[in-house]
């Protein structure tokens, strides 16, 4: 893929370059280390390799086979490190990409900032909401770049949807529905385990880190999303994408209150997190979000959104569809039960006729529905391109530490509500969940 730096500059993400605060001059090659070299990290490495001006020089992972594959993917350029603190201690590394299981994110981001590195961390930024408060403060104090990896927000479609909503074309949006429905083992995170995985090739202690001690388990290591020791399940894995998009499109920060129900109905043999989650999140800007996900049916799109406004609706999935709202008042069945004289008088009123008898109005054209599709670079590559621009310009991109904290915290509120069967609220003064 031929991708010039101009592509990202022209996308509006970056401004002038020049010498940066980190010492990464505009034309220097940026040296990147990969912390975690699992499935997502390999996609990120592939994306980064297509962006000029940078090099992936270090890699660390808890399964030997993935380190080997990362070295192969970087054509031998990346060096293997024994642990992530060793990688962070290498002064020649400017920035790190963190794509480990979620229970590691907070600590790794903080350690990376402390070591003076810029950071790209996969979503969710946190495993616990309080980590987000700490990370946002550390990012601010250090002046390092932190970008979070809900790449969907970098798609042209989401930008179009954001412009449409922000322009007021939908009127006042008060309800948003979004869902993620799947019904496959792979969709439900029951991934194949590499046949050479064993205590010799898998570093169990490195994986566990801050998590509770458990006996060695390849299921836990390779299917960690299924276990609450390492993941918040549907909410932090999938809802966090939906929430990031909703916050971006609506110009919103964080929900003020949340109620949710989550249940493990069917896939009990494979996990201790719910396979079905439904949540309502209320925002101080005056709208409510209804999130729904099941792993037991995929009739609807794997991921889709409906933004419902007084002047129009917008649906977002593989396309953006815009539907003008054509709402016609009709009280005929009510008025027809009145005494005839009163009903006749009601419809003789020219104001009523204009509103309720559209056939008597002068004709007009209604614009739409309209549809937008997208082609070109994968949003993951575009998202990484924005990060690389930020590394040079020192201008943060939209999905920074605070945006990552808020999206993840909403997902944590959903889990807390479902687990404790209660309304969970946001404490705006502490920028954290109300205890």
Ligand X SMILES: NC(=O)c1ccc[n+]([C@@H]2O[C@H](COP(=O)([O-])OP(=O)(O)OC[C@H]3O[C@@H](n4cnc5c(N)ncnc54)[C@H](O)[C@@H]3O)[C@@H](O)[C@H]2O)c1
Interaction mask 100-139, ligand X, x per CB under 6 A: xxx-x-----------------xx----------------
CB of 263 to ligand X, least distance (A): 22
- Contact segment (CB under 6 A) with ligand X among 93-101, 171-179, 263-271, 359-367 equals 93-101
Q: Nearest residue by C-beta to ligand X?
A: 38
Cβ count within 10 A of residue 116? 15
Are 408 and 128 spatial neighbours (Cβ–Cβ below 8 Å)? no
* Tokens describing residue 301: 């799109």
- Contact segment (CB under 6 A) with ligand X among 12-20, 97-105, 306-314, 332-340 equals 97-105
- Contact segment (CB under 6 A) with ligand X among 37-45, 165-173, 282-290, 327-335 equals 37-45
CB of 123 to ligand X, least distance (A): 6
Considering beta carbons, is residue 35 or 250 the nearer one to ligand X?
A: 35
CA proximity to 256, closest of 383, 400, 382, 426 = 426
Are 66 and 194 spatial neighbours (Cβ–Cβ below 8 Å)? no
Considering beta carbons, is residue 228 or 425 the nearer one to ligand X?
A: 228
- Asked if 41 touches ligand X (CB under 6 A), the answer is yes
| Beta-carbon contacts of residue 370 (< 8 Å; ≥ 6 apart) | 321, 322
Considering beta carbons, is residue 99 or 280 the nearer one to ligand X?
A: 99
Backbone angles phi, psi at 348, to 5 degrees: -80, -20
Considering beta carbons, is residue 243 or 322 the nearer one to ligand X?
A: 243
Q: State which of residues 40, 162, 169, 434 lies at the interface with ligand X (CB under 6 A).
A: 40
Which helix (H) or strand (E) segment holds residue 95: the answer is strand 95-98
Cβ count within 10 A of residue 370? 11
Q: State which of residues 237, 275, 399, 431 lies at the interface with ligand X (CB under 6 A).
A: 237
CA proximity to 308, closest of 162, 175, 165 = 175
Interaction mask 59-78, ligand X, x per CB under 6 A: -xxxx--x------------
CB of 61 to ligand X, least distance (A): 4
- Asked if 407 touches ligand X (CB under 6 A), the answer is no
- Contact segment (CB under 6 A) with ligand X among 128-136, 205-213, 293-301, 391-399 equals 205-213
CA proximity to 405, closest of 41, 130, 149 = 130
Residues 6-35 touching ligand X, rule: CB under 6 A, are 35
Distance CA 149, CA 240 (A): 10
CB of 150 to ligand X, least distance (A): 6
Cβ burial 27-64 (10 Å sphere, 16+ → b, else e): ebebbbbbbbbbebbbbbbebbbebeebebbbbbbbbb
Cβ count within 10 A of residue 181? 20
The site that binds ligand X (CB under 6 A) totals a number of residues, namely 27
CB of 247 to ligand X, least distance (A): 16
- Asked if 207 touches ligand X (CB under 6 A), the answer is yes
CB of 240 to ligand X, least distance (A): 8
Phi-psi region of 60 (alpha: psi -120 to 50; beta: other; left: phi over 0): beta
Which parts of this chain interact with ligand X (CB under 6 A)?
35-41, 60-63, 66, 84, 99-102, 104, 122-123, 149, 151, 206-207, 209, 224, 237
């Amino acid at each position: 893929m031929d991708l010039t730096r101009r592509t990202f500059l022209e996308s509006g993400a970056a401004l002038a370059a020049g010498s940066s605060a980190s010492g990464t001059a505009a034309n220097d090659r940026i040296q990147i280390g990969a912390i975690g070299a699992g499935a997502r990290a390999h996609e990120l490495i592939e994306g980064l390799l297509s962006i000029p001006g940078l090099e992936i020089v270090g890699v660390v992972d808890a399964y030997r086979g993935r380190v080997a594959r990362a070295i192969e993917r970087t054509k031998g350029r990346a060096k293997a490190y024994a642990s992530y603190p060793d990688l962070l201690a290498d002064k020649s590394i400017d920035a790190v990409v963190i794509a480990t299981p979620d229970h590691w994110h907070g600590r790794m981001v903080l350690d990376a900032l402390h070591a003076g590195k810029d950071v790209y961390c996969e979503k969710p930024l946190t495993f616990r909401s309080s980590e987000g408060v700490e990370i946002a403060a550390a990012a601010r104090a250090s002046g390092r770049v932190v970008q979070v990896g809900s790449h969907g927000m970098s798609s042209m479609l989401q930008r179009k949807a954001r412009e449409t909503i922000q322009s007021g074309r939908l009127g006042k949006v008060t309800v948003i529905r979004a869902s993620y429905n799947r019904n496959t083992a792979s969709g439900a995170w029951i991934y194949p385990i590499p046949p050479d995985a064993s205590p010799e090739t898998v570093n169990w202690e490195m994986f566990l880190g801050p998590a509770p001690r458990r006996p060695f388990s390849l299921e836990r290591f390779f299917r960690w999303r299924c276990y609450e020791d390492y993941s918040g399940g549907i909410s932090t894995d999938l809802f966090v994408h939906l929430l990031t998009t909703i916050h971006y499109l609506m110009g919103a920060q964080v929900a003020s209150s949340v109620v949710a129900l989550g249940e493990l109905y069917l896939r009990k043999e494979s996990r201790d997190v719910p396979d079905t989650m439904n949540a309502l999140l209320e925002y101080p800007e005056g709208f409510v979000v209804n999130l729904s996900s099941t792993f037991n049916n995929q009739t609807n799109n794997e991921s889709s959104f409906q933004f419902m406004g007084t002047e129009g609706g917008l649906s977002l999935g593989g396309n953006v569809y815009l539907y003008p709202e054509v709402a016609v008042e009709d009280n005929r069945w009510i008025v027809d039960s009145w005494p005839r004289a009163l009903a006749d008088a009601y419809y003789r009123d020219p104001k009523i006729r204009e509103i309720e008898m559209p056939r008597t109005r002068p004709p007009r054209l209604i614009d739409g529905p309209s549809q937008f599709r997208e082609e070109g670079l994968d949003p993951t590559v575009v998202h990484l391109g924005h990060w690389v621009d930020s590394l040079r310009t020192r201008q943060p991109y939209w999905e920074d530490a605070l945006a990552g904290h808020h999206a993840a915290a909403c997902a944590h509120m959903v889990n807390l509500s479902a687990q404790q069967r209660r309304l969970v609220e946001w404490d705006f003064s502490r920028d954290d969940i109300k205890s």
